[in-house]
Structures are given as C-alpha cells and as structure tokens.
Structure 1
Amino acid sequence: MSHMFSKRIYQLSCTLLLISIISSLALPSRCETVELVTNGGFENGMNGWRGFSYCDKLPREGTTTNYRACSGVYSLYTLCGTGGEHCYGVGGGATQEIRLNQMSNLTLRFSVYPFGVPEENAWINIALIADFWISQSRKTIVYYVAWTENIAIYRDYPLPTMASENVKNILLSSIECDKWSKIVRNIDLDFKQTYPNIPVSSVERVAVTLLAVTFQRLASVPAGAFWDDVSITFNPSSKPEDSPKPIQTPTPTTSPTPTPEPTSTPASKTHNCIIVTVAYGSELAPEVYHMRQFRDDMIGSNNIGRLLVEGWNTFYYLWSPPIARFIAAYEISRKASQLLLLPLQGTVRLASYVYLISAPFSKEFASIVGFTFAAILSTASYILAPILMFRTLFLIIKGELFVDDRRAVKSEG
C-alpha cells in the first residue's frame, strides 16, 4: 500500500515538474520586448487604470466604450465638459502608474481618435502626460494631441508651445480629427534631450495620464478623444539608438514657470530576486522581470499579499545570498542555474494565470491562492520530485545488487 502511494506521489511530482518546465518555454526570450502597461487596449474595462475628473464639481471620468476602437472591441473615452464657471477646466481621463525598476530602452505607443476639435483648437487641450519620478522629484513630458497656445493643460504647467525646468511639451504633428492616429515615441530619446543630466535608468516609476479638457463653455458639439493600444515596452537586449525615431515636432522655448510639486507617494522598497538576477546576469532580463512582477505587482498588491511576500522575503534572504555568490563566481554555475530555474519560471507563469483568474472575485483571495499554488508547485518540483527520483534510483540499484548476489551464490553452489 505504501509502495503504491509513493508511486502515485512520484508520478504526480514528475507531472507537475514537466508542466512547469513546459510552461517556462512560453516566457519571452531575451530578444523580445516586455510590455509594462496593464490593459493598454482596455479590453478588461478599467482594470489597471484609475479614472478621474479634471474638476471635482463636474464629473467627467474616463470610461471604456465599445462605440469606437482602433483594435479589439473597447477603447477609453475621454470627454471635455461644459459649464466650467467654477473650474479652471472641465474634462477628465484615466491614469496608470508603472514601476520601471531602472529599465531603459523604453518605447511609447498609443492610438488616439480626437473628435469635435475645431481647426484652431480653441480652448481645448488633449494630451498624454508622462510623469517620471526620480526619488521625490518629478519630471514631466506632455504629448499634446490637440492644444490651444494661450492656456496650459494645468495651471502650473508652461503653455503648450513653451517648456519649463520640469515640464517638456511636445506637440504631435499630423494628428487629424475624426481619424485614428498611431503614435510611436522613443521615451529614452525624448527624456535625454529634455533632461540630459538625468539617466533614464534612474527613473523609478512613470505615471501615464490620458486627458481631454476644455477651458470655456462649448456650444453644442462635444469634444474629446478615444484612446487605444496604450503601450510602454522595453527591450533588454537592444541599444537605445535602435528604438523607433520620434515624430518630428517643433522645438519649444523655455519659460520661467514655477516648478510643479510632486504629489505622488514614493514607491515602496522592493527586494531583488538575487538568485535569478545573478543567474541571468541582469535585473532587466525578462525572466527576472516576470518573477518580480508576480511577487510585487500581483501577490503583493494588497495588505494580505504584502504580508505573504514579506514572510517569504524574510525566509528567502536567510539562505539565498551565499548561493547567489557561488553562482556568480563561475560561468558554468550560472548556466546550470538557468536550467535549474526552468521549473520555477513555469511555476511563476502558471501561478500568474491562477492569480488573474481569481482576482475578479477578490485580490486578497487571489494573492492567497496564487501564493499557495506557487508554493505547492515549487515544493513538488524542487523537493518531492528529486527525493522520489533518488529513492527510486536507490531501490533500482539495490534490487540489481541483490539479484547479482543471488546469482553469485547459485553459481558457487
């Protein structure tokens, strides 16, 4: 009976190990780009995004709609408002914050469909705003889709045709009303040209904001924009100069505008996956990024999940540093570690799917289920399967030795 039970456990462990290895093969290779924006096509509603109104007195939060889309079924709908007697402007949009973890080679892509905008763009500003956070300081690039020259999109920002110490305005050319326009920008190049003394790799996080706002009472035609396919990617293997060239835009002049004060809270301290980082040679490797994303952005996205992650980090850092130092010392140990980490890569990928399936019910529940699933699969792959394999091998060798002994006794007799 115990033999049959051990056999079943052995078969199950080997099956789970095989599933983990096969799943790891689906991870992006080093030459592929990694997507950083969650739900950039808005096919999952507002998941990953936070809608907001430009003026609290006149709600105009960005919402998803199936009325018009560049790809898929849904897009984000941002509408300018009317009747802004008590507001600086009326409108709204949506925003999403992305942790960059010292990444570079960044490319921004998005599709936009402005509507109701007159040729002179009178009193209407439509833009994608990228806020880059370096510690407690903020640097901003505003990509204007539609603009009016004599009013800024925010009070403390420079006019669209100007710039300030902390805000760079880029006026996107060839944007037509009532048509989809696809925009591609080299974020590294835009950032370096604007802030040459700040390395892109020092940026901790970026907030992407899609906004449409008007600054006077519109007559009868509504104005705003549809947004789709919002994407920020990085390629860990390419050089910055290999990235797409930006659309040519007028060079803005400087203006002594007051520096906007940062309002976002600082990013929480994250722990490195040191064994995986050493094995793959860089924190920017896709394998490292996906594991860290699962740990921090999925499991650790809520209070219960953060407790699980903190507990795991406490245990992990008790024994991982000396192992990481050994792996880093020899090239052959790095290559061997990459092979040994294949089951873990597959485990993380499968556990990510489990989390995403469970998250609509409750993020806390999803964190518990995803963490438990990853723990069970890792235990089966790295503890049960090796123990049972060695046990089976030992029994086979022991059995063959007993057979040889019996044969030797019979031959002597």
Structure 2
Amino acid sequence: MEKINSPEFENLSIQQKEEIILHHKRNFIKKAAIAVVAISALIALTVFALKIRKEMIQDRVRFVSNPPAETPVMITPEENLEKEKEYSNTTLQISFKYPVEANLTESFDTEKGEGKVEVLYSKDNNLEFLEGYKVTITVFSTRIRDLNQFASTRLEAMRTTCPESTIYSGITDGKMGEYDTLYYQIDYCNGYYRNHYIDFGGKFFEVSKFYKGDVGFRQQYDIITEEIIKSITLLPQRFEVTEFLKSVSDVQSGVKFEYPSYLVNDCLVPMPTDTRYRVILSVCEETQKDAGVVISVTPVQRGATFDGLLQTEINKMSDDFFAAKGYPPNGSQENFTFNGEAAVKVTGYSWKDAYYIFVNTEGPKGAELVVVGVKEGSAEFKTTVNNILNSIKFRQ
C-alpha cells in the first residue's frame, strides 16, 4: 500500500488516491479504538488495584485495633467468711457473739447453774498473752444478795493482786447493752480492766473485759471487747426445764413462770381466804415452809366481776384478821399493771403477814382471777421472790 505523499502516490489516479486515503482512515480509527479500549482496561485495572490496596489497608487497621477476644474467665465470688461466732449456754443463762479469731473456753456446774466462759485473743498467738484482750463472764449463786457488797468484795480481791501503781475507780452505775449494772475500772494492773456486775434470775453475773498492748492496739481491743459485751443477752425466759431453773406452763390458765430448782413445791404459804382456788405453785425454801410464793387461779363465773370477787376476798380477810387479832386491819389497796395485766396489790389484810396480788386476766376458757400470794422470809430470799414474780406471764 503506497504511502500518502510518496512519488508513487502522486502517479495514481484520483480514484486510487481516495481508496488509499479511506484505507488509512479505517486503520487509524481501528488503532484508535484499540488504544481507547486498552487505556480503558488499564484505567479499570488501576482502579481495581487501588481498591484492593485500600481494602488491605483497612483490614490491617481492623486487625490491629481489634485484637482477638480473650477467652472468658469465670470469676467465682469470694466466700462470705464469717467474722464472728455465736455462743449460747442455757445453764449459765447467757448468749453472745465474739470474733472468730478469738478462742473460747467454758466450765460450769449444771446442778448449781454456776460457771465461767472466757473469750481470749492473744496477738500473734503468743501463749504468754503479752498483748491482746479477754472477756470473762462468771456466774455466781451466792448467799450475798447485795450486789454492791458483792462488787466491792470482787474489787477488794483485785487490790491484792495488782501492783501499787494501779489506779482504781469507785463503784458506779453502769450500762451493759440494755442492762443496768454496777461498774468499776482498773488501770495499769498489767493491763486494763472494765468490770460489770448484774443481779439477774437469782444469780450474780460478773462481766469482765481486760486488754493490754500498745496504745493503738489498746484502743482497738477496747472497741472489740465492748462489742462483745454489748451483744450479751441474759436468757432465763428461754429456759423450759434445767437443773437450776424450772419453768412451769399451766395450760388451763395460760399462766407461765419460773423458779429456782432448789426451792420445794410443797409449802405452807397462806392463801388469802378459805375460797377454793386451784393452786398452780407453792414454793419455798425447805427450811422455812411458810415463807414463799403461791400462785392460784379461779374462773370468773358468768354474772360475776373481778371487782366483786376482789371485794369479797378483802371482806373475808378483814373478818379473819379481826377474829385472830381482836382489832380491824389497817390494809391498803394499790392498782397497778402486773407484767402486762391489770392488778390490785392488797397489803395488811392478812393476819398471817402475807400480801396478795389479784390479777384480772383471761385464760383459754375466758375471764379468770389469778391470785399471787407472797410471804417474805429472809432478806436474801426476797430477791428470789422478786425474780419469781417478774417471771410470771399471762395469756400464754
């Protein structure tokens, strides 16, 4: 194919020239189209390559910023370990809580209801007890019925064992939780004592806390021992039958009470009159059968009233008194609440020197009159009588 503008091309006819020019145009268009397609493909490949590169970069970023999840670890909560223990002793009538790190020892006489419980903490488990605290609860059945005298005796005993540099307080009124106490404290007797004394249930309780150590630890021990003491509960109301305290529950009347087992339930405590009562209890000391407590009950019949029955009994006692003494009684009546029930205390009408508490209450079968008769013996026995009276409960 002749080239355009060549000598050969010039010698051709016009028709031949046009055919050659047309052929060249077609070749140019074909090459241009191929070039366009090639360029388009190249552009497409470039764009695709750039897109792949971008995706790879993004994947790399995601991999770095989101590391593989760790295997879940199951966390088991720590056990709620007990920090304190609870101690209860029905023979000694006590219950309290103390720290688990302390050691508890006990010794008691079941028959007498006496004994001692000691809570001891020695720092670093030192057997010589160079630093730590101690709470000692001692229960006494003593013939001494004056609590102040008893506390004074215990304080004097401490003076014989402590050095001359010891400082003693006087005996004052104290408080141990909900209980009123007699209290004294001793400083610098190889440590620090804080002693409480309580008259409860016919027995004396000595609650002594002792601690020693450096100043910081002493403050800590003082707080710990005070918490132990505040947790103490005295338990006569929880006893049913023990060797030293007996509980009686009369189902017919709903009356319940307690009395020391050393008393005998076969006494000559006088009734108010010859009116027939059902006697639930008549207790006294074996050596004095006519002094003690008698608890009796009679139903209030339909049409009768408490006031009417009470007046009848007072009239009968007045007649008996005049017959025995030859002159009328100088008696008195006191309305009061006796352990939750309306009652009247009648004093000075009995020629046998007893007084009576007439209680207006109800039992399982309806209204009833409960009569509590008391003839006091020795001064020591008076406390026992008061404890029996305080233990009486109705509507049980």
TM-score exceeds 0.5? no
State the TM-score, normalized to the length of structure 2: 0.24
Structure showing greater Rg: 2
From the two aligned structures, give the one with the greater helix fraction.
1
